[in-house]
Copies of this chain bind each other. A is one copy, B any other.
């Protein structure tokens, strides 16, 4: 009934979940997992056999894997814990948004349903983590946000900054240094044909230039 899932196995399941959504394909390949986790492909194959044994993934040799319902539930729960802990670290302990990921990578493996339920309540049942990523609910339901990178909007106008694609420390610090936070209003004033850079006003401040690389990692919704 209640198979024990190790910390390592949880990380593989999370990787498979993340990759399948990243590439919008149901099947994830051995090499994709190997790249993502910085393990060798042979190591991944070993683990895939174990996960299949435990009925956490569907695995056809050479054809890639996808999560079973049980595997998906496990992955979602780890992601829920990760994001709730990130909210805790930022909202309660005043960490900056670029400092919390590594600590949450550890905390996400703490095993106690009661703990998560109480933490969720303590934090006010948040719907999003500090990076704008949606937090799955206790039943494993995840509100898919259909926000689009700023650079894919080819029109001038007003947008709300709701999340990031890139989660690296340097990128998050860069956004902080230009004074950009989740929820800010972005007014696109110019789009440069030449290098696809954007001239943007943040809230009511002075305008700045966003390179296409920056614009491609900023998720926005059209302002209502």
Is A40 on the interface with B (CB-CB < 8 A)?
no
Segment 159-178 of A: residues with Cβ below 8 Å from B: none
The smallest beta-carbon distance between A111 and chain B, in angstroms, is 7
Segment 89-136 of A: residues with Cβ below 8 Å from B: 89, 92-95, 99, 102-103, 106-107, 110-112, 114-115, 118-119, 122
Q: Which residues of B contact A115 (CB under 8 A)?
A: 89, 93, 103
- A112 touches which one: B103, B110, B111, B119 (CB < 8 A)? B103
- By size class, the interface of chain A is 10 to 19
Q: Which B-chain residue is minimally distant from A92 (CB atoms)? A: B122
B92 lies within 8 A of A114 (CB): no
A93 lies within 8 A of B119 (CB): yes
Q: Which residues of B contact A106 (CB under 8 A)?
A: 110-112
The smallest beta-carbon distance between A144 and chain B, in angstroms, is 29
A-side interface residues toward B, CB under 8 Å? 89, 92-95, 99, 102-103, 106-107, 110-112, 114-115, 118-119, 122
With A89-B115, A110-B110 given, can you name 17 additional A-B contacts, CB distance below 8 Å? A92-B122, A93-B115, A93-B118, A93-B119, A93-B122, A94-B118, A95-B114, A95-B118, A99-B114, A102-B112, A103-B110, A103-B112, A103-B115, A106-B110, A106-B111, A106-B112, A107-B110
